[in-house]
A and B are shown apart, each in its own frame.
Chain A
Amino acid sequence: MYSVATALCEMAAEAGVKPSEPDIHRFEDLFLKSVRKYGRVRELKTVMQYNLLTLRPFKDAGQGMQLMLKGAISPLEMVKGGKKNPAVERIFARLDRLRHGESLDEG
C-alpha cells in the first residue's frame, strides 16, 4: 500500500533526488513546517505562504474573499499562528536526531 510509496519518497530524499512535482513538494514542506511550529497546520497561513513562495499571491483570492464575506474564514487566520505545542516540536527534534544517526537512548 502506501508504505511502498513512502519508502520510495524517503529513499529519494536521502539520495537528494529533486521532486518531479516541485509545487506539490513545496506545499507539503510548508504544511509540515506549520505542524512543527504550532502542533497543527494553520491552513490559511500555509496557503498564503505557498502563494507567495510560488509568486502567485492572488491565486484563489476571489474565492477567499467570498468566504470571508460569508464569515466562513477570518482574514486574521492568514497571519496569526496561535499557540505552540512543545511536545510536537520535541517529536520533530528527536526525528532530526535519528536522521543524523544519533541514538534516543540518552533522552
Chain B
Amino acid sequence: MKVSYYPGCSLEGTARSYDISARRICRSLGIALEEVPEWCCCGSSPALKMDRLMSTALSAQNLVQIEKQAVEQVVIPCPFCFRRLLSAQDEMKADVALKERVQKIIQAEMAGALQIRNLLGFLRYQVGLEAIGAQVTQPLSGLKLLPYYGCYLVKPTGVTHFDDPEHPVSLDELLAALGADVLSWDLKTECCGAGLSLSKTEVVVDLTGRLIREAVRQGADALVVACQLCQANLDMRQAEISRVEGKAYALPIIYFTQLMGLAFGHPARILGLNHHLVDPLPLLKEKGFA
C-alpha cells in the first residue's frame, strides 16, 4: 500500500524519534510512505488564531502538493497538522467562495477530495489490528501502559471522525494488540498545555502535573502518546513538577510508534528510545524488551 506522508515541522525538529519510528513500523507493515514534496508548515495554532485565511491557505498549499502525488490518502502523525489539513479541506468544500479566494492566494486549483488520516487512526482502522498483531515478534507482556490521547487528536466532535472525542479507544486497542497491559483512566483527553510550554510554563507544569500524578497513582510503567507536543510537555516538565510537589517523578513518555517498533523486534536505540529526558531504557531493559 502506498500513501502520502506529511510529517510536519516538529517531526524534522524536536520529535525526530516519532518520525523515525513511524517510518520504521510502516515499512514493517508493508506501507510505502511517500513524503509530500515541498511540504510547508500548516501554520499550526498561531496562524489559526491570528488569520483564518493564512491558516487555510497554508493547509491548501499542502493539499495541492499531496494531490500531485496521485494517491488517495495522506497520513499525518501530528494531531494538529492532521486536524488543520482536514478542517481546511472541509471548510473549502462547504464554502465555495472561500475555496476560490484561497486558490487565488496559492495560485493553484485543488480537487479537495483527499482522505486525510491521522497515523493512529490509519493504523488502527485502515491497516487493522490483525495485520499489526501479525508483525508482533516480542509481545509487550507485563508492561503496564496508560494511553494518553491529548485534546487535539480526537476533538472536536464532527471534525476528526475516527474515534470517540471523550472516551477514545483506538490507542488502547492498538496497545492491547501489541500484548501490553493497558490501564484505564479518566484523563485520556485532558489538555497538557500544548504550545504554551515556553510562554506560560507554569500553566503547563500545572496541567502536566495532574496527568503525571494520576498516571503514577494508577501504577503505570509509562504514558503512551500520539502527539509530539504532549510528549515534549510531559517529558520535559517532570523535573519542575517534582520540585513543586516535593516528590520525584520519572515516568517515561513513549510514542505508540516506538512501542510498535519494539514489539515488531526493532532495536530500542534505532527507534529513538534513547532520546527522551526521562529515559525509558532502564524500564524496558528490566522488562526484557531492550
- Chain A residues with a Cβ under 8 A of chain B: 1-3, 5-7, 9-10, 13, 21, 23-24, 26-29, 31-32, 35, 39-44, 47, 50-51, 59-60, 62-63, 66-67, 70-73, 77, 85, 87-88, 90-92, 94-95, 98, 104-105, 107
Residues from chain B with a CB closer than 8 A to the CB of A85 are: 38, 40
- Name the B residues within 8 Å of A3 (CB-CB): 52
Show 30 residue pairs from A and B whose CB-CB distance is below 8 angstroms, ordered by the A residue.
A6-B51, A9-B49, A10-B52, A23-B199, A24-B200, A27-B195, A32-B43, A32-B46, A32-B47, A35-B40, A41-B41, A41-B44, A42-B9, A44-B14, A50-B199, A59-B201, A63-B239, A63-B277, A71-B274, A72-B17, A72-B275, A72-B276, A73-B13, A77-B13, A88-B61, A91-B105, A92-B54, A95-B53, A95-B57, A105-B104
> A6, B52: Cβ atoms under 8 Å?
yes
Chain B: CB-nearest residue to A24: B199
Partner among B10, B54, B57, B196 whose Cβ is within 8 Å of the Cβ of A43 = B10
Interface residues of A, dominant DSSP: helix
Task: Output the least CB separation between A20 and chain B (Å).
Answer: 12
User: Residue B131 at the A interface, CB < 8 A?
Assistant: no
State in angstroms the CA–CA spacing of A26 and B277 once bound together: 27
Q: Give B209 Cβ to nearest chain A Cβ, in Å.
A: 16
A27: which of B40, B104, B198 is its contact (CB, 8 Å)? B198
Which of A42, A66, A88, A104 has most B Cβ within 10 Å? A88
- A72-B16, A95-B57 known; A67 vs B277 contact (CB < 8 Å): yes
Chain B residue at smallest Cβ distance from A28: B46
Closest B residue to A63 by CB, please name it. B236
Closest residue of chain A to B53 (Cβ to Cβ) is: A95
Assess the B49–A41 pair: CB atoms within 8 A: no
Which residue of chain A is the closest to B65 with respect to CB atoms?
Answer: A87
Residues on B facing A (Cβ under 8 Å): 9-10, 12-14, 16-17, 38-41, 43-55, 57-58, 61, 104-107, 156, 195-196, 198-201, 236, 239, 272, 274-277
Dominant secondary structure at the B interface? helix
Do A35 and B200 contact each other (CB < 8 Å), given the known contacts A60-B236, A71-B275, A88-B61?
no
The reply to whether B52 and A7 contact each other, CB–CB distance below 8 Å, is: yes
Q: How far is the CA of A28 from the CA of B58 in the complex (A)?
A: 16
Instruction: Tell me if B10 and A94 are in contact (CB < 8 A).
Output: no
In the complex, what distance in Å separates the CA atom of A90 from the CA atom of B199?
29
Contact for A23 among B12, B53, B200, B274, CB less than 8 A: B200
Q: Is the CB of A41 within 8 A of B9?
A: yes
Name the B residues within 8 Å of A98 (CB-CB): 53, 105
Contact of A1 among B9, B53, B156, B201 (CB under 8 A): B156
11 further contact pairs, Cβ within 8 A, besides A35-B41, A71-B274: A21-B200, A27-B195, A28-B45, A32-B46, A41-B41, A43-B14, A44-B14, A60-B236, A73-B13, A98-B53, A105-B104
- Distance between A63 CB and nearest chain B CB, rounded to angstroms: 5
Which residues on the B side are within 8 Å of A67 (C-beta)?
A: 14, 275, 277
B46 CB contacts on chain A under 8 angstroms: 27-29, 31-32
Q: CB-CB < 8 A to B43: which residues of A?
A: 32, 35
Closest 6 CB pairs of A and B: A28-B46, A72-B275, A43-B13, A23-B199, A39-B40, A35-B41
Residues of A within 8 A of B277 (CB): 63, 66-67, 70
With A3-B52, A9-B50, A27-B199: A40-B12 Cβ-Cβ less than 8 Å:
yes
Q: Tell me, rounded to whole Å, the shortest Cβ–Cβ distance linking A81 to chain B.
A: 13
Contacts of B51 in A (CB 8 A): 6, 10, 95
